[in-house]
Amino acid sequence: MSTTLQNSVSKVSKLAQNIIGSEIIKLAGEVNEKIKQGEKIYNLTIGDFNPKEFPIPSELKQYIVDAYSDDQTNYPAADGMLELRNAVSNLLKERGGLDYKNDEILIAGGARPVIYSIFRALVDADDTVVFAVPSWNNNHYTYLNHAKAVVIEATPEQNFMPSAKDIKPFIQDATLVALCSPQNPTGTVFSKEGLEEICDLILEENKRRGLETKPVYLMYDQIYWALTHGNTQHYNPVVLRPEMKNYTVFVDGISKSLAATGVRVGWSMGPKYVIDKMKAILTHVGAWAPKAEQVASAKFLADLSVYDKFLVEQKNRISVRLEGFYKGFQELKNEGYKIDAIPPQAAIYLTIKFDLHGMKTSEGKILATTKDITKYILDEAKLAVVPFYCFGADDNSPWYRMSVGTCKVSDVQDVISNLRNALKKLS
C-alpha cells in the first residue's frame, strides 16, 4: 500500500480523532501484562465481579438456559419485553417506592446504552452538562454530544458527593445535571438533605424558565442502589420530591445488584415523552438486551422473595471484603503510614488514599506524581487500584478506587501485608 493511500485510509472523523479511550481499561491492560509474565497481582481495578466468587443467582442462570432452549433468540421488542417492563415496574414500586408504568420504562443492553440515549435525547451541541468529579464517564458522553462540560471538583470532606451549593453557580446555563448515587468510583451516597437541596435547586430553576424553555433535566444513575451496606440508606429524587418526576431520567438495571455485568440487562425510567425518544434513538443503534436474557430476568424478578434472599447474600459477601480492607487501611494509618480510607457505604468500591507524594524509595527514586505512586504500589505491593484522575479528578489527587468484586476474602490480609512491606521501604 502506498504512503499516500495509507495516509488517506488513516483519516477519521474529528470526533474519533480526539476521543479518549478508557483510562481504566488501559491500566488493566498493563496489569494483565504483568499477570501474563507470571507475577501474582491483586487486580482490584475493574468494576466487575469474579463469577467464581460472585455468581449470578442460580435461578436466573437456569432461566437464561431455559429461554435459549425455548428458542427465544429473535429480536426483542424495541422498548423491552413487556413481561420484563412489568416486572421492573413492580420491583421499583415494591422496593424503591417509585411508580412507573411499563410505557415509562425502557430496557437496554446494560447501563451504557441508557446513558448514551439520555444524552442524545436531551442534550444538543453546545448545551451545558454539569457533573462532579470523580465520576464515571460523564466527560466522555458530554464529548460525544459536542456539549459543554462544567466540572465540579468534589472533596473528601463531602465524601466526594457534589452539593447544591456546588451546582448553583451553573444551574441557569445547564441542560443536564448528571448525578450518581451510590457513586462510582467512591462507593459513597447522597444524604437525604443533600439530595433534597439539589432537587429544590432544579425545581426552582425550571419554575424560573417556564414552559417555553427546555428545562434542566437530572440524569440519576442508581445502578448500585440495591447494594447499600450497614446503616446506609439510598435516596432518589422522585421519592424525595415527587415534582422531580417530570425532570428525572434514571439509569438502572441488574448489572451490579445481581453480579450480572455480562448479562447486559439495564433499564431507564422517566417522563414518557423522553423515554419514547430514547427508544427511537436506540432502534437505530440496536443496543437491546438479548431476548433470552430479558425473558429470564422477567421470570427472576417476578418473585421478589428470591431477589431479596440473593441480595442479602450478595451484600454480605461484598461487605466482608469492604470492611476488611477498610479495617486494614486504618491499621496501617494507625501504624503511622500516610494512607487512609473513607468508611464504605455502598456499591463494590472503597475510596482509599495514598498520600505518598515526595517520598523516596529504597533505591532513591522520588515518588513525584500520582502515576509514580500507582506504579510503586503495583510493583512493590502487587496491588492494582485506579487513581481518581481516571475519573476526571486532578492528575495528582492522592485518592484511588479499590474494587472488591474480583477478590477472594483471603486476599484482604495478603494485600494489607504486601502494602505494609511496601510502605516500610519508603522514607
Among 283, 303, 323, the domain boundary falls at: 303
pLDDT interval class at 32 (50, 70, 90) = confident
pTM, to two decimals: 0.95
pLDDT for 294 beyond 90: yes
How far apart, in Å, do the first and last CA atoms of the chain sit?
55
323 with 294, same domain? Answer: no
Q: Give the integer Cα–Cα distance in Å for 63 and 58.
A: 9
Among 243, 271, 303, the domain boundary falls at: 303
**Does 3 map to a domain?**
no
pLDDT for 191 beyond 90: yes
What's the Rg (C-alpha) of the chain?
22
Mean pLDDT of all residues in 345-370:
97
Q: Give the integer Cα–Cα distance in Å for 296 and 289.
A: 11
106 with 193, same domain? Answer: yes
pLDDT interval class at 229 (50, 70, 90) = very high
The CATH number covering residue 367 comes to 3.90.1150.10
228 with 206, same domain? Answer: yes
* Collapsed DSSP state (helix, strand, coil) of residue 268: strand
> Which whole-number Å values give the CA distances from 46 to 26, 114, 136, 242, 393, in the listed order?
11, 20, 12, 35, 18
**Does 329 map to a domain?**
yes
Whether 256 contacts 30, CB under 8 Å: no
- What is the share, in percent, of the chain residues with pLDDT greater than 90? 90
pLDDT interval class at 22 (50, 70, 90) = confident
pLDDT for 118 beyond 80: yes
Residue 153 sits in which domain range? 58-303
Helix H or strand E encompassing 64: helix 58-69
**Does 1 map to a domain?**
no
DSSP tag of 77: P
**Does 2 map to a domain?**
no
121 with 252, same domain? Answer: yes
262 with 402, same domain? Answer: no
- What is the share, in percent, of the chain residues with pLDDT greater than 70? 98
pLDDT interval class at 1 (50, 70, 90) = very low
Number of domains in the chain: 2
Mean pLDDT of all residues in 289-313:
98
30 with 66, same domain? Answer: no
356 with 261, same domain? Answer: no
- 369-425 pLDDT, tens digit each: 999 999 999 999 999 999 999 999 999 999 999 999 999 999 999 999 999 999 999
Half-sphere exposure of 351 toward its Cβ, with a 13 Å CA cutoff? 27
123 with 248, same domain? Answer: yes
pLDDT of residue 172: 97
Residue 39, phi then psi, degrees to nearest 5: -80, 145
Please provide the average confidence, as pLDDT, over all residues in the chain. 95
Q: Which contacts of 33-41 are long-range, i.e. CB under 8 A and separated by 24 or more positions?
A: 34/378, 39/382, 40/382, 41/378, 41/382, 41/383, 41/384
The CATH number covering residue 277 comes to 3.40.640.10
236 with 107, same domain? Answer: yes
